[in-house]
Structure 1
């Protein structure tokens, strides 16, 4: 990392010089391209190693989801890319990073003030580290996705450049802004839609993309606990229960050892929820007015499949006042093999603190807990609302103009997160106003998508040969 002493936060000139010195030491052009080392790891072996800490019967579902396409494989291959990024040049300027900044980990959600914002929404791998790693993973994700919908090489390059241009321009703006303006800056739905409308009027995107984006926003506003309850909960003998849909949703009653009663579950959950409340930010919290009803294990995502994830059904005033929380297992970040370990003993706390630092606004139910499982092993979890006005772009139906607009938007959002969590002045000084860093990362993204395709082919061969098991359903 950077051998120079860190400048004082109040010395803005020294912070800028710190970034320029980093540029002299690690030129922006040094980030270009990707060539795998001769002794590069076996990608299948790393995935096999990851599976050893996961629920065995769910691992084949993870493999099935990763097998769908090179893009879904990329989503589940954060560990592989972290291992590769560890050998790439870095400026030595660190910030809190997402650790898995691919394009599907961005979306809209509701703030505590009931505003709809667009931001990063997944922090399972968050850790302090090189800001370049997030930029490279994000740019490469757009290259992989653009190949998925058949974009030409020239169009893919334009999309990749848009990612980094969006990042660089917003970082430069943040570096030159008043302190609080940089901290408060965020993209609310109205601002997001105004940008889309401006792109349409300039004929840089089509009308159908404006309609699609409007639909995502409108749908997000309906995605709350009431809608989730209508989909996931049934009434059994007059009591609300999460409906079984094995193997994707399995109620707790069907998982615990023989001899354990529902009364045991209720008593343990009440204790755990009381302990979880101590990690919430508000001294007086609405959580106090909810009681435990039921819970079930639920398969989520792609890379996360096999880690333990639960949905917890709570009741407020009555059955017409439900709340669904998600409790998701937090293991050590995939970055911790290559960076200093987290300062937090509890990985749920690591995720929550990283999210609170990087997001413009976070869920008021965001907290953490350590739980002893039926097997006697302790595991860390973080909790949040299952649905809180959440929405995401339909990446499977992108075209070039939509992808380019979305790429620039995601790059800017990532820059805002890094600007809050690290030294925006130093990073901006390193980037500069030319497109040298942009072109270097665009080249890296193209080369790394080639690597992803090679790894995907090796993965598919491992499934075909029986080395890895993939479920027949995802």
Structure 2
């Protein structure tokens, strides 16, 4: 507290403003229902002046590596679900026109079901959490829930589930979010902070919705996730050439620097990337900075990642420690302005890499020990922001194609609870829980929204597919 002098000349302390009481926060949530009824979230109607979806995707592509953009379009045209994964900017524009409760939280910004994954904690426990934070910003908490719900509808359609089955999957997911938020609202701040989902819950929740063959597949996914560490990635992605350990080329997905640029430009980029690694370490905790300092930079290659991220600058960085068989593989990924920023306001962080890292640390139960950020200069003289993390660290994903309807429903339940915990760490969990209430009004609204937006997604996918067919946009 700040020291002050009172009217009587005695030293005192300036009191900070008192935060709202639990009752006031709950009343705020209830009052929001009068402004935006929970049933209003069922509504989706495209705006009359809705932008061309291809124009929105091309606007993103304009800042990306031009030779990689056709790969992005090729992946997005493969299926409506693949399109949806790359269409966060399109959905952000559409969500901006939907009803808002007025209560905010830190958003993932791209909370589709494949961004809920298996991850390793620093203590080497296999956890289940949100994985992708490229678009993270504070915003309306319901936007993340709607993106998750719609992804389940789209996955259900791809699997041939009936509309009734899809509705039950979404209702269960949203009910899980609502009920978990109510539990979190009654917990203390530290208890919320330490709350997490481990793989025991994942196995128990999902496996009951699978037949014997698919349960074996789930077990294989968990075992594979535990094996996806630096050594596994090291063996898969590197080789020895002329006595030196280098990253194995796999163009255009993995391309060494010498295959990208002539010697002079390559040396400049190598220097810039070396400065990125050394400079980014300043954003780590001191003990982790000391650990990183025990490694040397051995090789760098460009990597194509994901669906929505294709075309952003992404580098695999091979570091070697005690000897040539002691690896650390890092990924430095370009961070641009969030697709949400136009609708919820810009970030409090000037560096977009710091925005991603801050959002990830806030929403995840535990984060990669090498997670950090840095701004660096490209060979074109432009300053670009990056965030850095380990390339593989016990990461694994459950593909929805292998799930029976009850398995996907149970997976959605776990995703809903995980998203609630992530929002509760940053937003007003008491107000959100009060807004949602004990009834199922919001649960019943989201399947309606999800079906309507899945229809929109299919129309947009068809527009992009036609744009590729006519040559309006290039595709590989």
Task: Tell me the TM-score normalised to structure 1 length.
Answer: 0.94
CA change 1:373–1:163 in 2 (3 A) is: same
Distance in 2, matches of 1:9 and 1:419, equals 17
2:371 to 355, 366, 378: 366
CA contact (8 A) 2:317 2:329 kept: yes
Give 1:265 deviation, angstroms.
5.6
Residue ranges of structure 2 left out of the alignment (5+ in a row) = 1-16
C-alpha contact (below 8 Å) 2:205/2:414 kept by paired residues: no
Structure-1 residue corresponding to 2:9: none
Residue number in structure 1 paired with 2:243: 238
Q: 1:250: Cα distance to partner? A: 0.7
CA–CA separation in structure 2 for the residues paired with 1:196 and 1:144? 19
1:277 partnered with 2:281: yes
Structure 2 residue aligned with 1:36, among 37, 46, 59? Answer: 46
CA–CA separation in structure 2 for the residues paired with 1:165 and 1:65: 33
Instruction: Quote the Cα distance in structure 1 between the aligned partners of 2:473 and 2:273.
Output: 36
Please name the residue that 2:152 is paired with: 142
- 1:443 is aligned, of 441, 448, 451, to 448
Q: Deviations over 1:66-89 (max 9, x none)?
A: 011000000000000000000000
Alignment match, 1:60 = 70
CA distance in 1, matches of 2:312, 2:72: 10
Determine if contact 1:269/1:292 at 8 Å carries over to the other structure: no
Mapped pair 1:214 → 2:210: no
CA 1:459 to 1:270, structure 2 compared with 1: closer, same or farther past 3 Å? closer
Question: Residue 291 of structure 1: which of 296, 304, 318 is its match?
Answer: 296
User: How many pairs align?
Assistant: 459
* Corresponding residue for residue 3 of structure 1: none
Tell me, yes or no, if structure 1 residue 313 matches structure 2 residue 318: yes
Distance (whole Å) between structure 1 residues aligned to residue 86 and residue 61 of structure 2: 12
1:385 equivalenced with 2:395 (yes/no): no
Q: 2:361 aligns with which of 356, 361, 364?
A: 356
Alpha-carbon spacing, 1:191–1:145, altered in 2? closer, same or farther (3 Å):
closer
Contact residue 167 and residue 414 of structure 1 kept, 8 A: yes
Deviations 1:164-222 (A, max 9, x none): 1111111111011233222211011233323346xx2xxx5433343222221111110
C-alpha contact 1:294 1:312 (8 A) present in aligned 2: yes
Q: How many Å separate the matches in 1 of 2:275 and 2:336?
A: 22
Q: Structure 2: how far apart are the matches of 1:333 and 1:395? A: 27
Relative to structure 1, the CA distance from residue 453 to residue 260 in structure 2 (aligned partners, 3 Å threshold; closer, same or farther) is closer
2:88 is aligned with 1:91: no
| Structure 1 residues not aligned, in runs of 5+ | 1-6
SS of alignment partner, residue 344 of structure 2: coil
Is the Cα contact below 8 Å between 2:75 and 2:82 reproduced in 1? Answer: yes
Cα displacement string for residues 366-423 of structure 1 (whole angstroms, at most 9, x for unaligned residues): 0001111111111110000000000000222222111111111111110010011111
Give the number of the structure whose alpha-carbon radius of gyration is greater.
2
Q: Distance in 1 between matches of 2:284 and 2:94?
A: 36
CA RMSD of aligned residues (A): 1.5
State the SS of the aligned residue for 1:217: helix
**Displacement, 1:229?**
1.0
Aligned with 1:278: secondary structure?
A: helix
Is the aligned partner of 1:19 residue 2:24? no
Q: Which moved more, 1:174-183 or 1:145-154?
A: 174-183
- Choose which of 309, 320, 323 in structure 2 pairs with 1:304: 309
Match of 2:13 in 1: none
**Aligned-pair distance for 1:257?**
3.8
- Aligned counterpart, 1:4: none
